[in-house]
A and B are shown apart, each in its own frame.
Chain A
Amino acid sequence: MGNITLKKVSKSFGATTIIPEIDLQIEDGEFVVFVGPSGCGKSTLLRLIAGLEDTSGGSISIDGRDVTGEAPAKRRLAMVFQSYALYPHMTVYKNIAFPLKMAGEDAAVIDKKVKDAARVLNLTNYLERRPGQLSGGQRQRVAIGRAIVRQPSAFLFDEPLSNLDAALRGTMRLEISELHHQLKTTMIYVTHDQVEAMTMADKIVVLNAGNIEQVGSPMELYKTPKNLFVAGFIGSPKMNLINGTAAAKHGATTIGVRPEHLGISTTSGEWKATVGVAEHLGSDTFLHVQAGDVGTLTVRADGELGVRHGETVYLTPSPNKIHRFGADGRAM
């Protein structure tokens, strides 16, 4: 089981308030991603749940049990750190076995569990190595192995992929998602990368300056962002946010149109624009255009689109895909 409930949880370091007050419900088996810009308090929130930091207020309960004052070890949570935090003086085998040893399991049980984990994580041939003799991806897997052997009620990941190169990041993303499907254990995953959030999460929690901006499934956040922050943060390339008369026409202070919801034509359309840089990705082309009063826009167009720098194009937003925001930045 792995229900986690936060009630009015807050955290200050001295006089600095990092997390004003958060309420959050995480269901058993969910893959929850905390996403937000660097420094917004994601790690702090995760560490509060882990018990590595004391709360300044509010309560945390796991499976209905109040754990607010409990030591990390008692919470039955496992954590994978950004730096991996492997024990450098122990072999891979001993690293993975460590939590079991601390739990006082007997040697035969430990051996079986370590070897099972190693098999799942493709580490069987590396069990006698030290962490220093492994690649980044392998270290990451050892860290995950150390987390899974204990069969915790939830896994906590703090930006586990940020030290890996882009290709490996893609692979590990899949591996972690796959692991979640196999284990069906609650996972809380912290990242500043909205792509990771979108691709992995059942539920995304968007954080900004210690506040929850929105909680929802990836598609909910994509389709109905509650405010400008979420609108700008979720989606790649970023949503175009337009102020002024173009927005007023739709009865809003700001309107948002995703790059993929802009129709492009060389003959006619709502906004006239001059083509700037075009980024060809093969499947898609990202066009950066200058549309007079409307401002600079990004357009996601067909990969085969053949427009040149300086050419004039016409853009039309899909009418039912326009997001309208009021003066307070909230969706209308």
Chain B
Amino acid sequence: MARAVSTRRKIGFTVAAWVVALLIFFPILYTIITSFKSETEAIAGFSLVPSGTLESYAEVQAQSNYFKFFLNSVVIAVGSTILALLIAIPAAWSMAFSPTKRTKDILMWMLSTKMMPAVAVLVPIYLIFRDANLLDTRIGLTVMLMLINLPIVVWMLYTYFREIPGEILEAARMDGATLWGEIVHVLTPMAVPGIASTMLLNIILAWNEAFWTIRLTTTNAAPLTAFIASFSSPQGLFWAKLSAASTLAIAPILIMGWFSQRQLVRGLTFGAVK
């Protein structure tokens, strides 16, 4: 009896999970499907079976240089992530291992900056960028995205570092490890998974960031978000072309996400992993 109920339950959960997953994934799936349609097919109405034409891709490539945008995306996403880690690792480290009375407040304050709508600071930041000659530069955008994501990076790392039990570090000290030995043999191996997850997640966040990347760039430093945007406006809507551009833009990050699934799941469920 009990077994029957639990099996039914399991099936129920499985079905529900698939439905939710499909619902969430459907827009992406439909974008990919549409990218393989011709423009006439694309506006013709709902259909899950594309003709398989590659004409949209060809047109997209002809119209703009995908590779340049792609390169900008890589430089900006990876660069801002490395920069953020360089700043956040020592910060999170000291907050996790030698917290003061104010540590919690500082963490909250950092997170609170994420609660402010970005539009609120668009004008001042735009002006600063203009006056500093940072508009449409990779450097400017890299720094901007680093700043945008820094609170989240610090929070994630802090949560990870907090999970490293202090007793293990003390054990290493008792076992005769020097500070350097402690860092090399104990701290780093235990911190690396957390840092890796944070890095992956931050690359994704930076890759997909569309507010600042679109507004602070025009051509030279424009990443893939701007590439998509450039297909969404001018001469009416070309669904197939837009879809092809979107697919091209998200493909690299999807592939990276796919190959680093395990790290990412760890990263997204941090705190729950022992």
Contact = CB atoms under 8 A, between A and B. Distances in A.
Whether A associates with B in a native complex is yes
Interface of A: 50, 52, 71-73, 77-79, 81-83, 85-89, 98-99, 102-103, 146, 150
Shortest 8 CB-CB contacts between residues of A and residues of B:
A99-B175, A85-B171, A102-B176, A85-B167, A73-B176, A89-B189, A79-B174, A72-B173
Question: Most chain-A CB neighbours within 10 Å: which of B165, B175, B178, B185?
Answer: B175
A87 to B, nearest CB: 6
Nearest to B274: A132
Given A83-B167, A85-B168, A77 B189 contact: no
A52 B170 contact: yes
Contacts of B177: 73, 98, 102
Contacts of A99: 175-176
11 contacts: A50-B174, A73-B178, A78-B174, A81-B167, A85-B167, A85-B170, A86-B168, A87-B171, A99-B176, A146-B171, A146-B175
Nearest to B171: A85
Interface string B183-196: 00110011000000
B176 A81 contact: no
Nearest to A53: B170
A233 B206 CA distance: 61
Interface string B154-169: 0000000000010110
A19 B4 CA distance: 60
Contacts, number: 58
Given A88-B190, A89-B189, A71 B171 contact: no
B181 interface: yes
B14 to A, nearest CB: 28
B190 A81 contact: no
Interface of B: 165, 167-168, 170-178, 181, 185-186, 189-190
A87 B186 contact: yes
B182 to A, nearest CB: 9
A79 B171 contact: yes
B103 to A, nearest CB: 16
A81 B174 CA distance: 11
Contacts of B176: 73, 99, 102-103, 150
A81 B165 CA distance: 12
Nearest to B190: A89
Nearest to B182: A102
A78 B172 CA distance: 10
Contacts of B173: 52, 71-73
B206 to A, nearest CB: 29
Contacts of A88: 168, 190
A98 B190 CA distance: 15
A58 to B, nearest CB: 21
B185 A73 contact: no
Given A52-B173, A72-B170, 17 more contacts: A52-B174, A72-B173, A73-B173, A73-B174, A77-B174, A79-B171, A85-B167, A85-B171, A86-B171, A87-B168, A87-B171, A98-B175, A102-B175, A102-B177, A103-B176, A150-B175, A150-B176
Contacts of A87: 168, 171-172, 185-186
A275 to B, nearest CB: 44
